[in-house]
Amino acid sequence: MITPAATVFVIDDDESVRKSLKRLLDAARYEAEVFKSASEFLSRSAYQGPSCVIVDVKMPGLNGIDFQEALIEHRREEQLIFITAHGDIPMCAQAMKAGAVDFLPKPFKPKQLLESVERALARSSEQLLRASERIHARALLQRLTPREHEVMELVATGLLNKQVGGQLGMAEKTVKTHRAHMMQKLKITSVAELMVILQKAEVSPVAKPGTKV
């Protein structure tokens, strides 16, 4: 799948800062887009490729922190880099806890900013990758029939076929059959691989009472 190019978004109400940042990013060979306000950015649909957002904390209207909260609320996963003219320490702590990549007081050393951008983009890519893997894994899981699904769940908890049969009220042989099908569909050959898929799908195995996990 072709992913769009990495883009850096800038949200700052100060024109000089906006302009200069675009220049800086451009010079560093990043794709950059600038916005006057957070709401302007939010009105645009989420960018598909790896991205990060450099956002000023103190802005009229929606400020940086609120912006962060809004993203979390909408389950948007943009990586944020906060810049501020004030150096609000508590705000910084709050922002970092909420998942920002970095918090830089103005004037910052451009090198620092670019490093953060790099980190943010990497994170973003990683995130995207994980997201696509998740989708992929889930799609695989979707292929399973309900019975195969049940079997898979119990196998994932480490039960033997016999035990699985006992739990589900099936004959061992039947279990084996389902299991084989399941493995086939998921294109795996071992339970370990199954775990990987489950992990990627971000689905946790359901532990039934009495089972050893």
Partner 1 sequence: MSWVTVIWSIGAGACLTLAFLQFIVWWKDRSARANLVFSVGAIAVAVFAALEFALMRAVTPEEFGKVTRWIHVPAWVLIVSIVAFVRLYLNAGRRWLAWSIVAVRTLSLILNFILSPNINYREITAVDHVRFLGEPVAIPHGVPNPWMLLPQFSLLLLVIFVVDATITVWLRGNHRQALVVGGSIVLLVGLGSAQAVAMTWGLVSTPLTVSLFYLILVAAMAYELSYDLIRAAQVNRQLRATEAILRESEQRFRIVADAAPVLIWMSGVDKLCTFFNKRWLEFTGRSLEQELGNGWAEGVHRDDVQKCLKTYTEAFDARKPFVMQYRLRRNDGEYRWLSDHGVPRYDAHSAFAGYIGSCVDVTDLLTQQTALHQFEERVALAAEAAHLGVWEFDTITDQIWVSDKVREIFQFPEGDEISYSEFQKRVHPDDRAARDQLVQRAIRTHGSYESEYRIVLPDGNFRWIGGRGRCLPGGDGKSTRLLGVSMDITERKQAEELFHLATEASPSGTVLIDHEGRIVLVNTHAEKLFGYARDELVGKNVEILLPERFGTSLESDRANFFIAPEGRAMGSHAQLFARRKDGSEVPIEISVNPVQTPHGLVVLANVVDVSARLAAEEVARRSREQVDLLGRVSLLGEMTASLAHELNQPLAAIVNNATAAMQYLEQGRLKPEQLEDILNDVVADGRRAFDVMQNVRNAIKKGAAIRGRINLNDLVKAITHMVQPDATAHFCKIKTSLTADLPPIEGDPIQIQQAVINLVRNAFDAMRDAPPSRRNVEISTNYNGDGAIGVAVRDYGPGISEAIRNRLFDQFFTTKDEGLGMGLAIVRSIIEAHGGTISAENAQGGGARFHFRLPITKEMSQ
For 199, the token pair is 């992990």
Q: Of 41-49, 64-72, 107-115, 128-136, which part binds partner 1 (CB under 8 A)?
A: 107-115
3-class DSSP state of 102: strand
Does 60 bind partner 1 (CB under 8 A)? Our answer is no
Written as one string, the DSSP assignment of 32-70 is EEEESSHHHHHHSPPPSSSEEEEEESS-SSS-HHHHHHH
Does 14 bind partner 1 (CB under 8 A)? Our answer is yes
DSSP state of 143: T
One of 5, 27, 72, 135 touching partner 1 (CB under 8 A): 27
The alpha carbon of 22 is separated from its chain's Cα centroid by a whole number of angstroms, namely 26
Comparison of 90 and 169: residue with beta carbon closer to partner 1:
90
Comparison of 46 and 89: residue with beta carbon closer to partner 1:
89
Comparison of 91 and 194: residue with beta carbon closer to partner 1:
91
C-alpha separations of 111 from 28, 95, 115 in Å: 10, 21, 6
One of 107, 146, 169, 210 touching partner 1 (CB under 8 A): 107
Task: Give the footprint of partner 1 on this chain (CB under 8 A).
Answer: 14, 16-17, 19-21, 23-24, 26-28, 58, 83, 85-90, 105-110
